[in-house]
Amino acid sequence: MPAAKPLTDHASSKQWTVVDDRMKAEIARRKPKPADVGRAREIAATLRREFPDAKCALNFKTPFQLLIATILSAQCTDERVNQVTPGLFRKYKTPKAFAAAPEGELEEDIRTTGFFNAKAKSLRACCQTLVDDFAGVVPNRIEDLITLRGAARKTANVVRMHGFQYPGLSVDTHFTRIMHRLKLTKEFDPEKIEFDIGALLPPDDWTSFATTVIAHGRKTCHARNPKCDACPIQKLCPNAFKAQGNPRRV
């Protein structure tokens, strides 16, 4: 097991300058225990070694395509979204095209992703805002991204992380479950979880941590019956074995 990294000053992280002001303020308020900082960094390093090629599971070529795919991925699998988006992006190439999509037609085009009426409404409104307020270009600041309909902090983070290579922590149900099992947060609100984990790890590690945790959840730390006996971070997990075979325990 590698030695824990010393507590790093976040501001010395190369990507600190592109961290949003709210995250900076939340990190400044938090005083994590050094033991948790060391454990979180060992977990991050171990998962990076375990999943060196982990990446966003959504297919896209531009930040705009990623934004659309991420909005569609709510309550839907990435695989299903990836089946829908190639045809969608051939048909609607720009924010203007999505904003002007005929009533009923866009809904039909995205029907298989579920909640298609609400998602179509979000896509039209989001793209109209892109046209009206951002000259048709996806912004890279969280403060701007969260003004787009259908894009809360999680979506904004996904777009920044994978569309712009900025640091980010996208918090979904899988990330939440694993952070609770690892006892790295007590929070249930996704934003508070993001800030708790942001205080434990330097920004340069955020994106790889979020991506590798998702990969770990898919391969080993399943919602039901996590494979604790085959887990690479078992020694760093307070819930090891307690979780196994007892999904209600965590």
Phi, psi angle pair for 24, to nearest 5°: -60, -45
In the list 57, 125, 146, 240, the residue contacting ligand SF4 (rule: CB under 6 A) is 240
Residue the block writes with tokens 């075979």:
245
Q: State yes or no: residue 228 binds ligand SF4 (CB under 6 A).
A: yes
Smallest distance from ligand SF4 to CB 39, Å? 12
Q: How many CA atoms lie within 13 A of 242 on its CB side?
A: 12
Answer yes or no whether residue 213 interacts with ligand SF4 by CB under 6 A: no
* 142 touches ligand SF4 by CB under 6 A: no
Q: Is 172 a catalytic residue?
A: yes
Q: How far is the CB of 228 from ligand SF4 (least distance, A)?
A: 3
- How far are the Cα atoms of 117, 186, 227, 241 from residue 55, in angstroms, in the given order? 29, 27, 22, 28
Q: Which of 40, 171, 199, 237 touches ligand SF4 (CB under 6 A)?
A: 237
Q: How far is the CB of 233 from ligand SF4 (least distance, A)?
A: 5
Per the listing, tokens 């074995």 go with 241
Q: Pick the closest to residue 200 from 13, 48, 3, 1 (CA basis).
A: 13
Binding mask 167-196 for ligand SF4 (x = CB under 6 A): --------------xx--------------
The count of residues interacting with ligand SF4 (CB under 6 A) is 14
State the minimum distance, in angstroms, from the CB of residue 77 to ligand SF4.
21
Please tell me the distance from the alpha carbon of residue 138 to that of residue 163, in angstroms, as a whole number.
Answer: 10
CA-to-CA separations, 218 to 57, 121, 212, 237, in angstroms, rounded? 12, 31, 10, 17
Contacts of 219 (CB under 8 A, 6+ apart): none
91 is catalytic: no
Of 1-9, 59-67, 122-130, 226-234, the segment contacting ligand SF4 by CB under 6 A is 226-234
CA 208 – CA 51 distance, rounded (Å): 9
Catalytic member of 119, 154, 196, 205: 154
User: Which residues are annotated as catalytic?
Assistant: 154, 172
Note the residues at the interface with ligand SF4 (CB under 6 A).
181-182, 220-221, 226-228, 231, 233-234, 237, 239-240, 243
